[in-house]
Amino acid sequence: MASIAVFSVTASTFPLGSVFDDLPEVTVELERIVPTGQVVVPYFWVYGADREAVLDAFSDRPGVSNIEPVDSIDEGVLLRAEWDYDVHGIKRGIYESGLTLLSAEGSSDEWRFELRAPDRTSLSTFQSYCQENGIALELTRLYTLSERGTDRAYGLTEPQVDGLTLAFDRGYFDSPRRTSLEELADELGVSRPAVADRLRRGLRNLLASTVADPD
């Protein structure tokens, strides 16, 4: 039976994690990953810093190369990079185990990966791969596809639930709005870009788990 597993690893375990050395306040979210031969090309958003600071921070990072800006908005910058498939990291383990990466987001504390597995054997293979390659992995959640639409199985993190709930209660989604991102940020004790990122990702995950086509 297909399952959804959520794993967390320390920030430094993932190739993009070293950016937090220079920009500890940002968050990073993988947009999509395109395998091309022996190179894996990820597109990812960086939130919480301006474009020039992000480009400077990513100018020389181990494990990634050819980092290029693709687009930018007020809250973040979209980048494209290349990973060497020969490096025995977590990304290689995901593909060799037959798992599908549904989402990945990182902060200076940790990376969180949501993976879809066709069966439990694939999950065991992935966990064995990580253990053999010295990757400290923690399984934080496991549920079946049939459970995805029940309880809290909407692909939401606790900060996303907190942010969406507060925004709803304070009237952020009303028309006209009864609160602002700045006020939400003050109440949550985080930055304005972090709140905007939390709401955007939370809404996307919620829609993906409810009204969107699962394919």
Model confidence over 82-119: pLDDT tens digits?
776 556 678 788 888 888 887 788 888 888 888 888 88
* Tens-digit pLDDT profile for residues 27-75: 888 876 655 555 566 788 888 888 888 888 877 666 677 788 888 776 7
209/44: higher pLDDT: 44
Q: Which helix (H) or strand (E) holds 40?
A: strand 39-47
CA distance 105 to 112: 5
Please report the pLDDT score of residue 68 as a whole number. 84
Q: Are 83 and 97 in contact (CB under 8 A)?
A: no
How far apart, in Å, do the first and last CA atoms of the chain sit? 17
Residue 179's contacts (CB-CB under 8 Å, 6 or more residues apart) are 167, 170, 171, 172
* Eight-class DSSP state of 154: T
CA distance 139 to 101: 15
Q: Compute the average pLDDT of residues 139-147.
A: 75
At 60, the amino acid letter reads: D
Q: Nearest Cα to 142, choosing from 107, 99, 106?
A: 99
Please report the pLDDT score of residue 202 as a whole number. 86
Q: Compute the average pLDDT of residues 5-20.
A: 81
* Tens-digit pLDDT profile for residues 145-178: 665 554 455 667 777 888 899 999 999 999 889 9
Q: pTM of the full predicted structure?
A: 0.66
198/17: higher pLDDT: 198
